């Protein structure tokens, strides 16, 4: 007889502002099943787990637990989740360092464990029960010792035992192994297997399925908020699918190049603009691609406009190459070697009525290749200049005199970038350059960013696409409601971190 | 006239006259002697000529490597150099790589000369000459017969394949004669293609360096399906539909732009 289902996730949808984070996620979990959900950065897997544990509300769909009597109980919040036996094990096991091992195991479960009578807690009993529990699981430890002295693996195990004590039926494990070595991971996995032996169903979230491939009964892949079908260990394609997922997760299509960074080119200190931007400070080095991630309304376009002289800051200062600069108009920005390609190109960038070559060279008519001021606009020279740019940047057009309005979005941007190169810009600011572009257009923009950084220039890349930012940037700043709330270098940036910055997630308390 | 055009003209002059004069060149191109000297410095770095007092002479030892490249499309040469620039950033010191045959791989090896403690297994004779400039690079040839196509000399034959069996590398870097959806990455020389298939199975990262003229071409022998690589380095004119395909299949694509002289 097939084991009963314990968890049903049906057509779950979750949005953050207007961005779909989870789309029609559906799957079921059986009693005693160990399911692996694998997905990369920014795949929304943590959001899914939070939805199941009740920590996040969902817009559409239903998450329900099926209790021992066979009734469906809908999960709407953490209280529902907890009282129906759902528990979460996080990457950093929530252990109270100042308590002992036994206290951590039995915390919140004193009445369940029958070690209290009224208001009195029988510590002797607690220590005895904790010791027995640890022995049953083959875990050798002194239950009276302080949790502060435990290793990370030991803390995870304590957290697991605690979860068991709370009568958990469904255990959600969120990437609990990244801090553990291979040996420790094995130890923790064994405990989990024993837990599963007592009837607990487990959902593993992981970026690297090879850790858990031996222990799981089934696997689901999650990508950009959508899930594939569940594949059982008994299915013929289980192994090949796992390998496929592994290969997919270990590779990233973003063409990131490691470029050595030079001196600081631009520094902003305490920039403010009316009530929209407060106290923005950051540095950009030569060769660096700095990402600024923010949702609509966070002030990111205002910041871009400030940095290119279109708006005048109400406070704070901007330094280029160590010198304080004051930009009253975009002409000042160009003089300071800043080139900005803003979101609304029609308003801020191109002159729609004019031709490609005019748009390319308009601001540069005076820069007659250093040969002194020219009172005549030499058509021939400028057309050849335009042709070079078209050739080198592969701008798709019929000829240089084509109206720029006829070019595609991506090609219009290339014209603006070429204009920056002609003006000898050192710092490029891109505001949502890949929005509305297809993947081919995106790759071309990413490679332009690479070229900018390889040539010793720098780029500020403003985007609302987290995976793109992680894929291409050396450094990411997170902007929310006009303030910088996150600062991540390449070594510690992750989809979860940035997402939390953007949506002000509070750390969950120990369940 | 832009820098690269001037370089190209100087190369042609050196091939024809075997020597050039700084003052003559400066008059001819209407630039200062300092500019010409800088040009010659750059071309000397490329191994094309040797500077002398007042001018430069052809670097005889490099002739086989250069003759086809300089008479061929100068744009193509530039594109290969940009591909080399990108590859140089992807390869770290201390890696063991396999480098394939052909002019593209030879040209990119120029940019790898500065890598210290690199170990290279290759069947590309031109690349060996270039890389041997740096005594800190370990150079290992495969076995095989030396065969010449245009100005590229490569080792090929059953010994080449035998040698590569069991040799695991961090990165395998090859070029292709054809790239298409149906035929994947292909090569005219089927023995070398077999060698590439073998090495690809023994490499952590499979990298193909190819200029954009190779797209939608089918060469005789396929050495990898279209989605069987990890990284593609090409130039700015790569077709959009291929870019889309690779991105969707998690394959990194670098289409190197050249922004100097814009």
Any CB–CB contact under 8 A between B85 and chain A? yes
Chain centre distance of CA A116: 45
Chain centre distance of CA B183: 23
Q: Which residues on A lie below 8 Å from B30 (Cβ)?
A: none
CA distance A135 to chain B (A): 43
Q: For residues B130 and B109, is the Cβ–Cβ distance under 8 A? A: yes
Confidence of residue A111 (pLDDT cuts 50, 70, 90): low
Residues A100-104, mean pLDDT to the nearest whole number? 88
Task: Looking at mean pLDDT, say which of A82-91, A108-117, A245-254, B29-38 comes out highest.
Answer: B29-38
Residues A24-43, mean pLDDT to the nearest whole number? 87
Strands (E), A241-311: 264-273, 277-285, 289-294
B251·A251 Cβ contact <8 A = yes
Lowest mean pLDDT across A213-227, A479-493, B8-22: B8-22
Over 60: is that where the pLDDT of A506 sits?
no
pLDDT of A126-137, one tens digit each? 888 888 888 888
Residues A431-460, mean pLDDT to the nearest whole number? 92
Interface test with A, best of B3, B73, B257 (most A CBs within 10 A): B257
Q: Closest Cα partner for A427 from A404, A456, A393, A384?
A: A456
CA distance A424 to chain B (A): 9
Instruction: Identify the pLDDT of residue A376.
Output: 56
Over 90: is that where the pLDDT of A488 sits?
yes
- Greater model confidence, A493 or B86: B86
Chain B residue with the nearest C-alpha to that of A452? B259
Q: Which residues on A lie below 8 Å from B86 (Cβ)?
A: 257, 450, 454
- Give the residues of chain B that fall short of pLDDT 50: 63-71
Instruction: Identify the pLDDT of residue A208.
Output: 75
User: In a 3-state reduction of DSSP, which class is residue A163?
Assistant: helix
Residues A291-299, mean pLDDT to the nearest whole number? 89
Task: Looking at mean pLDDT, say which of A262-266, A338-342, B24-28 comes out highest.
Answer: A262-266
Any CB–CB contact under 8 A between B262 and chain A? yes
Q: For residues A54 and A81, is the Cβ–Cβ distance under 8 A? A: yes
Any CB–CB contact under 8 A between B257 and chain A? yes
Over 50: is that where the pLDDT of A416 sits?
yes
Cross-chain CB nearest to B255 (options A257, A418, A447):
A447
Instruction: Identify the pLDDT of residue B261.
Output: 67
Cross-chain CB nearest to B247 (options A253, A448, A455):
A253
Cross-chain CB nearest to A259 (options B2, B89, B262):
B89
Q: For residues A481 and A452, is the Cβ–Cβ distance under 8 A? A: no
pLDDT of A454-467, one tens digit each? 999 999 999 988 88
Q: Which residues on A lie below 8 Å from B90 (Cβ)?
A: 257
Instruction: Identify the pLDDT of residue A117.
Output: 64
Any CB–CB contact under 8 A between B201 and chain A? no
Chain B residue with the nearest C-alpha to that of A446? B254
A254·B252 Cβ contact <8 A = yes
Instruction: Identify the pLDDT of residue A219.
Output: 92
Q: For residues A139 and A155, is the Cβ–Cβ distance under 8 A? A: no
Q: How far is CA A41 from CA A52, A209, A223, A230, A252, in A?
A: 19, 14, 9, 20, 10
CA A257, CA A407: separation in Å to the nearest integer?
A: 29
Q: How many CB pairs under 8 A join A and B?
A: 90
B241·A440 Cβ contact <8 A = yes
- Greater model confidence, A154 or B82: B82
CA B260, CA B6: separation in Å to the nearest integer?
A: 14
Over 80: is that where the pLDDT of A145 sits?
yes
SS3 sequence of chain B: CCHHHHHHHHHHHHHHHCEEEHHHHHHHHCCCHHHHHHHHHHHHHCCCEEEECCEEEECHHHHHHHHHHHHCCHHHHHHHHHHHHHHHHHCCCCCEEEECCCHHHHHHHHHHCCCCCCEEEECEHHHHHHHCCCCCCEEEECCCEEEEECCEEEEECHHHHHHHCCCCEEEEEECCCEEECCCEEEECCHHHHHHHHHHHHCEEEEEEECCHHHECCCCCEEEECCCCCCEEEEECCCCHHHHHHHHHCCCEEEEECCCCCC
pLDDT of A184-193, one tens digit each? 778 888 888 8
Interface test with A, best of B85, B247, B256 (most A CBs within 10 A): B247
Instruction: Identify the pLDDT of residue B4.
Output: 80
User: In a 3-state reduction of DSSP, which class is residue A30?
Assistant: strand
Give the CA-trace dihedral at A142, A148, A150, A154, to 10 degrees. 100
In the numeric block, which tokens belong to residue A439?
């993947």
The C-alpha angle A18, A449, B252, rounded to 5 degrees, equals 80
Q: How far is CA A162 from CA A88, A134, A156, A165, in A?
A: 11, 11, 10, 5
CA A420, CA B57: separation in Å to the nearest integer?
A: 39
Confidence of residue A116 (pLDDT cuts 50, 70, 90): low
Instruction: Identify the pLDDT of residue B69.
Output: 45
Any CB–CB contact under 8 A between B182 and chain A? no
Any CB–CB contact under 8 A between B86 and chain A? yes
Chain B residue with the nearest C-alpha to that of A422? B262
Q: What is the pTM of this model?
A: 0.74
Confidence of residue A509 (pLDDT cuts 50, 70, 90): very low
**Paired strand residues for B178:** B186
Confidence of residue A349 (pLDDT cuts 50, 70, 90): confident
Over 70: is that where the pLDDT of A337 sits?
yes
Q: Which residue has the tokens 């289902």?
A: A5
User: In a 3-state reduction of DSSP, which class is residue A103?
Assistant: helix
Instruction: Identify the pLDDT of residue A276.
Output: 92
B262·A422 Cβ contact <8 A = yes
**What does residue A160 show for φ and ψ, rounded to 5 degrees?**
-65, -45
Chain B residue with the nearest C-alpha to that of A251? B250
CA A334, CA A308: separation in Å to the nearest integer?
A: 8
Over 50: is that where the pLDDT of A491 sits?
yes
Cross-chain CB nearest to B262 (options A392, A394, A450):
A392
CA B49, CA B61: separation in Å to the nearest integer?
A: 9
Give the A-side interface with B, CB within 8 Å: 247-248, 251-259, 388-389, 392-394, 418, 421-422, 438-444, 447-448, 450-452, 454-455
CA B46, CA B41: separation in Å to the nearest integer?
A: 9
Pairing of strands A226-227, A201-206: unpaired
Instruction: Identify the pLDDT of residue B71.
Output: 43
Confidence of residue A508 (pLDDT cuts 50, 70, 90): very low
- How many CA atoms lie within 13 Å of A280's alpha carbon, on the beta-carbon side? 32
Over 90: is that where the pLDDT of A26 sits?
yes
Any CB–CB contact under 8 A between B76 and chain A? no
Chain centre distance of CA A149: 32
The ipTM is: 0.75
CA dihedral over A119, A123, A125, A127, signed as positive or negative: positive
Lowest mean pLDDT across A147-151, A283-287, B155-159, B164-168: A147-151
Chain A residue with the nearest C-alpha to that of B242? A440
Mean pLDDT of chain A: 84
Most distant CA pair in chain B, distance = 58
A258·B89 Cβ contact <8 A = yes
SS3 sequence of A173-184: EECCCCCCCHHH
Cross-chain CB nearest to A393 (options B90, B236, B250):
B236
Instruction: Identify the pLDDT of residue A319.
Output: 94
What structural domains does chain A harbor?
A: 5-95+150-249 (3.40.50.300), 96-149 (no CATH), 264-354+407-414+423-510 (3.40.50.300)
Instruction: Identify the pLDDT of residue B235.
Output: 93
Pairing of strands A19-30, A5-16: antiparallel
Length of chain A: 511
Over 60: is that where the pLDDT of A31 sits?
yes
Residues with Cβ within 8 Å of A215's Cβ and at least 6 positions away in sequence, in order, are: A34, A189, A192, A193, A204
CA distance B19 to chain A (A): 30
- Greater model confidence, A15 or B60: A15
| Segment 205-244 of chain B within 8 Å of chain A by CB | 230, 236-237, 240-241, 243-244
Residues with Cβ within 8 Å of A353's Cβ and at least 6 positions away in sequence, in order, are: A403, A405
Any CB–CB contact under 8 A between B30 and chain A? no
Chain A residue with the nearest C-alpha to that of B249? A253
Q: Which residues on B lie below 8 Å from A441 (Cβ)?
A: 240
B240·A438 Cβ contact <8 A = yes
B89·A257 Cβ contact <8 A = yes
Chain centre distance of CA A56: 17
Interface test with B, best of A41, A253, A369, A434 (most B CBs within 10 A): A253
CA distance A171 to chain B (A): 32
CA distance A56 to chain B (A): 30
Instruction: Identify the pLDDT of residue A351.
Output: 78
Any CB–CB contact under 8 A between B87 and chain A? no
Q: For residues B254 and B91, is the Cβ–Cβ distance under 8 A? A: no
Q: For residues A511 and A78, is the Cβ–Cβ distance under 8 A? A: yes
Cross-chain CB nearest to B250 (options A253, A388, A454):
A253
CA A283, CA A175: separation in Å to the nearest integer?
A: 33
Strands (E), A260-419: 264-273, 277-285, 289-294, 315-320, 323-325, 338-341
Give the CA-trace dihedral at B59, B60, B61, B64, to 10 degrees. 110
Which string of b and e fits A15-51 if b means at least 16 CB within 10 Å? eeeeeebbbebebebbbbbbbbbbbbbbbbbbbbbbb
Instruction: Identify the pLDDT of residue B64.
Output: 47
Cross-chain CB nearest to A418 (options B252, B255, B262):
B262
Q: Closest Cα partner for B14 from B38, B46, B50, B42?
A: B50
CA B10, CA B40: separation in Å to the nearest integer?
A: 9
Chain A residue with the nearest C-alpha to that of B82? A451
Confidence of residue A367 (pLDDT cuts 50, 70, 90): low
Lowest mean pLDDT across A76-85, A253-262, B192-201: A76-85
Q: For residues A422 and A389, is the Cβ–Cβ distance under 8 A? A: yes
CA A208, CA A191: separation in Å to the nearest integer?
A: 20
Instruction: Identify the pLDDT of residue A510.
Output: 27
**What does residue A68 show for φ and ψ, rounded to 5 degrees?**
-60, -25
């Amino acid at each position: 007889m097939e084991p009963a289902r314990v968890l049903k996730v049906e057509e779950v949808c979750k949005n953050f502002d207007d961005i779909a984070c989870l789309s029609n996620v559906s799957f079921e979990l059986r009693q005693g099943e160990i399911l692996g959900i694998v997905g990369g950065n920014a795949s929304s897997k943590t959001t899914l787990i939070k939805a199941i544990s009740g920590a996040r509300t969902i817009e559409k769909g239903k998450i329900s637990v099926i209790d021992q009597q066979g009734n469906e109980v809908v999960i709407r919040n953490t209280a529902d989740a907890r009282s129906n036996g759902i528990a979460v094990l996080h990457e950093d096991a929530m252990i109270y360092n100042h308590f002992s091992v036994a206290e951590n195991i039995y915390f919140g479960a004193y009445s369940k464990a029958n070690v209290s009578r009224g208001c009195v807690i029988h510590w002797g009993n607690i220590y005895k029960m904790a010791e027995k529990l640890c022995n049953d699981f083959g875990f050798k430890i002194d239950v009276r010792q302080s949790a502060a002295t435990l290793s990370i693996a030991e803390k995870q195990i304590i957290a697991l035992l605690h979860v068991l004590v709370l009568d958990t039926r469904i255990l959600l494990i969120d990437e609990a192994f990244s801090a553990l070595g291979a040996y420790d991971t094995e130890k923790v996995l064994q405990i989990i297997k024993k837990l599963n032996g007592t009837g607990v169903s487990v959902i593993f979230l992981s970026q690297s399925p090879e850790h858990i491939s031996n222990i799981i009964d089934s696997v689901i892949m999650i990508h950009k908020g959508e899930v594939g079908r569940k594949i059982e260990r008994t299915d013929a394609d289980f192994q090949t699918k796992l390998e496929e997922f592994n290969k997919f997760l270990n590779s990233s299509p973003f063409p990131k190049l490691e470029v050595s960074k030079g001196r600081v080119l631009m520094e902003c200190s305490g920039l403010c603009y009316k009530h929209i931007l407060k106290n923005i400070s950051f540095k950009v080095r030569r060769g660096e691609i700095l990402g600024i991630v923010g949702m609509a309304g966070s002030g990111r376009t205002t910041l871009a406009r400030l940095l290119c002289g279109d708006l005048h800051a109400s406070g704070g200062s901007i330094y280029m190459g160590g010198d304080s600069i004051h930009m009253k108009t975009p002409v000042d920005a160009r003089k300071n070697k800043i080139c900005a390609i803003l979101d609304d190109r029609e308003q801020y960038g191109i002159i729609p009525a004019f031709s490609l070559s005019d748009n390319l060279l308009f601001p540069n008519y005076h820069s007659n290749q250093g040969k002194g001021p020219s009172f005549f606009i030499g058509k021939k020279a400028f057309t050849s200049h335009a042709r070079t740019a078209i050739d080198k940047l592969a701008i798709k057009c019929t000829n240089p005199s084509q109206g720029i309005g006829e070019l595609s979005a991506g090609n219009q941007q290339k014209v603006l970038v070429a204009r920056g190169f002609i003006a000898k810009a050192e710092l490029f600011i891109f505001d949502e350059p890949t929005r509305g572009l297809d993947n081919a257009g995106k790759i071309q923009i990413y490679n332009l960013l690479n070229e900018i950084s390889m040539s010793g220039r720098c780029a500020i890349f403003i985007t609302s696409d987290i995976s793109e930012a992680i894929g291409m940037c050396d450094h990411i700043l997170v902007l929310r409601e006009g303030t910088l709330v996150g600062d991540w270098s390449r070594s510690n940036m992750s989809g979860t971190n940035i997402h939390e910055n953007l949506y002000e997630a509070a750390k969950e308390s120990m369940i | 006239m832009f820098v690269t055009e001037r370089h190209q003209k100087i190369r042609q002059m050196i091939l024809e006259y075997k020597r050039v004069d700084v003052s003559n060149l400066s008059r001819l191109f209407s630039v200062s002697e300092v500019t010409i000297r800088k040009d010659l410095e750059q071309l000397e770095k490329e191994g094309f000529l040797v500077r002398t007092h007042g001018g430069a002479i052809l670097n005889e030892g490099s002739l086989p490597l250069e003759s086809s490249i300089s008479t061929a499309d100068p744009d193509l040469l530039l594109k290969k150099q940009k591909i080399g620039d990108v590859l140089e950033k992807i390869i770290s010191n201390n890696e063991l790589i396999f480098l394939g045959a052909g002019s593209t791989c030879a040209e990119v090896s120029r940019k790898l000369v500065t890598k210290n403690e690199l170990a290279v297994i290759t069947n590309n004779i031109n690349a060996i000459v270039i890389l041997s400039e740096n005594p800190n690079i370990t150079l290992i040839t495969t076995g095989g017969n030396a065969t010449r196509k245009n100005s590229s000399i490569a080792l090929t034959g059953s010994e080449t394949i035998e040698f590569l069996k069991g040799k695991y590398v961090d990165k395998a870097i090859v070029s292709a004669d054809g790239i298409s959806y149906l035929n994947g990455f292909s090569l005219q020389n089927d023995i070398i293609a077999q060698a590439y298939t073998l090495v690809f199975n023994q490499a952590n990262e499979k990298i193909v360096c190819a200029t954009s003229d190779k797209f939608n071409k089918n060469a005789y022998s396929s050495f990898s399906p279209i989605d069987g690589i990890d990284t593609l380095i090409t130039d700015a004119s790569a077709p959009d539909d291929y870019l889309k395909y690779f991105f969707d299949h998690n394959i990194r694509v670098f289409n190197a732009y050249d922004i100097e002289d814009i």
